[in-house]
Structure 1
Amino acid sequence: MGLEIESLTLGYRPKRKEERILQTGLTLRAGEGKIVALLGRNGVGKSTLLRVLAGVRVPLGGSVSLDGEELLRLAPAERAKRIAFVTTESVTVAHLRVYEAVAMGRAPYTGWFGSLSTEDERRVAEALEQVGMTAFREKTLDTLSDGERQRVMIARALAQDTPVMLLDEPTAFLDLPNRYHTVLLLRRLAHRTGKIVVFSSHDLSVALQLCDVLWVMGRDGVEAGAPDELLANGAIGRIFGDLPLHCGADGTIRWTVPFGDGE
């Protein structure tokens, strides 16, 4: 069945203020072994959707299920065995070793102060190998590049051993080669392990070339489908609204109005 989102309403209920609705009636599906890119302009609710899926925020309505089991009804510890969430915040704790950071992913099984079993250690070592960071296991996070730290965070999510991985802007602070390397890694993990991988992004070209499914979020909802399908029906182009931009079949963006003198 995979990940199922039914009639979800996203928004906020500030104290003493009128609630703010970002999205209503979202119904989406993500199947096993698929990598999904969540695209859209700032402020439409991408990060809020990911946080609701991860259980960090409570939706204003609707449900989220995995293989028929409603995730929002689970205790946090149980939900952490099903969904791993990588946020945009970079973990740079002084003197924290790569191995120790990845081992934190085993917390749902050991508790925050639990010791690692042989199986836990195997999972951590396997996660480091999957992201190509085994040789860095004794290095501290503050000595790593942005791309290397991102791989460590992905390894931590892998060590958590969940069927679903959510990532909020995993390529935001990376240079172009590392953006492709990171999404290629996520694509390979989804296809080889059967995990459902959903990540938010502004990198149209990367998403169009490497993802199985796109969720294109606008002010009026989300359109979901394969990249070529959403390119053909204009959903990708609608991200730009009234801006004079054209999105090519490969995800390249072109300014369609000639520049005048002094512009």
Structure 2
Amino acid sequence: MNKEHLISVSKDVKKNIIEMIYEAKSGHPGGSLSCSDIITYLYYEKMNIDVNNPKYNERDRFVLSKGHAAPALYSVLAEKGFFEKSELKNLRKIGALLQGHPDSKNIPGVDVSTGSLGQGISNAVGMALGLRYQKNPAKIYTILGDGELQEGLVWEASMAAAHYKLDNLVAIIDYNGLQIDGNNEEVMGISPIDKKFESFGWNVVTCDGHDYEKLHEAFNKISEVKGKPSVIIAKTVKGKGVSFMENQAGWHGQAPTLEQKEKALMEIAN
């Protein structure tokens, strides 16, 4: 693992997120920044993908179950070369390639259209089961928001994943502790996440979602697990990298002003 390269890429990814949402005057910066390091790690270090052949049958699949964090995914896909970076500035514009939530029909590199919370992991479970029947060695990776765990569908899918012993499925929880209405535990308590998944039959690992060495260790721990799905509970910071956005629920779905954008870009660069 080239940690320095990942850190460099992650800064570009975060800067793209801020620029995109500023230009769109709409979007979700807080949750995009909190999961961007995880997505960067997956695409640059972990996943078997082919930019020149996005539909390669034995590729690993990624499902952004928290679809509102699309700017993070779009930024990484553009940095990897799935489409031109110039597309980023057109986020959410009528007729543009990149809309507010991922669109698998039109965007190269997007495997599942998401946005309705809970449905991403459900798709991921079905995909993992289908790949097993096809004897396809590919893995499915899906990122969920912590507030998303309040959706009942998440737990139906989790029960099914354990029942079918889907060891080709890895879920990552973007555990930043906040959602649109405030603190998770005040809106609807989700703790203890680890014990809940363990009781459903999952292999559980917890790590720092912004430390690439810790992420690497976590993924190495689950790589040899057989007979059950794995979940990585990644402890993250909403708005990571931008001081005035960090740990602020108000930045769940708000675009920065020009002054805020410039300050954010400067902080990320440093």
Q: TM-score, normalised by structure 1?
A: 0.36
Greater per-residue strand proportion: 1
